[in-house]
Amino acid sequence: MRFMTTPDNAADTPAEAADDTAPAATGVAAQDWDTASADPQYRAAVVDLLGALAYGELAAFERLAEDAKLAPTLSDKAELAKMASAEFHHFEQLRDRLAAIGAEPTQAMEPFVAALDGFHKQTAPSDWLEGLVKAYVGDSIASDFYREVAARLDSDTRGLVLAVLDDTGHAGFAIEKVRAAIDADPRVGGRLALWARRLMGEALSQSQRVVADRDALSTMLVGGVADGFDLAEVGRMFSRITEAHTKRMAALGLAA
């Protein structure tokens, strides 16, 4: 996964976060894994987070490989296969990290299989352009979310999470292809705008499902563990993510 840093997103520089809505990078964010993981609840939350991210990458691999079949040309196919392969290498890093901290990777991923498979099942693209918009929108939202969370993580976990969110090239490729399609036939824009809205709705509903199910993870998100968010902060996080989505859709020529 990858993405544009959104304007409100200070995750890359947590220590310098200066504006009054951003939490100061103290506590866990100033610790390394060895220190932070002494708290069993923090440890469980990180295993959940890495498990969710790992399965997300594996599912993204499958989705991109599947979408490669819809590619109109051999070089488009190769481009999607390349992204899929990059996601797989991210998966490997996360799986290895889970093993290194003594967690069983499969077990860590299992709790997130239903939600992620559910998301992909509900949002199977019916053509090449829908697939591109999905790759772009889905990864952008996921990436925004993980960057927000990353600022609350210990330095070791944060480094890994930010590394696997690195650009795998989806953005530029998707934007270029989608814009060209809208230029060629403006009606395409209306259809894809509806599609993007459906994707956002489905992503939010699956996220709620995960948060409701996973105690350690949601406790970290809504406060109670280390530098977790409070509820108001979670609300602000969701509006930042939604706002960033709206801006991206506008940049793509789609009304969100």
Distance in Å, CB of 106 to its own copies, minimum:
5
Which x/- pattern, by CB under 8 A, does the window 116-155 give for its own copies? ----------------------------------------
Tokens of 75: 């070089």
> Which position among 73, 121, 185, 212 is part of the footprint of its own copies (CB under 8 A)?
73
Which member of 91, 128, 145, 146 binds its own copies (CB under 8 A)? 91
Q: Is 198 in the site for its own copies (CB under 8 A)?
A: no
212: contact with its own copies by CB under 8 A: no
Query: Which has the closest alpha carbon to 211: 229, 188, 189?
Result: 229
Site for its own copies in 99-118 (CB under 8 A): 105-106, 109-110, 113
Q: Which candidate, 173, 143, 149, places its Cα nearest to that of 5?
A: 143
| Cβ 134 to its own copies shortest distance, Å | 17
The first and second tokens of residue 203, run together, are 């992503």
Interface residue with its own copies, options 38, 78, 180, 232 (CB under 8 A): 78
Site track 43-62 with its own copies (rule: CB under 8 A), x = hit: ------------x--x--xx
Least distance from its own copies to the Cβ atom of residue 65, Å:
3
* Shortest Å distance, C-beta 56 to its own copies: 13
Distance between CA atoms of residues 18 and 178, nearest Å? 37
Q: Compute how many residues bind its own copies; rule: CB under 8 A.
A: 27
Q: Which is nearer to its own copies, 65 or 256 (CB)?
A: 65
d(Cα 125, Cα 133) in Å, to the nearest integer?
9
Chain contacts with its own copies (rule: CB under 8 A): 55, 58, 61-62, 65-66, 68-69, 73-75, 77-78, 81-82, 84-85, 88-89, 91-92, 95, 105-106, 109-110, 113
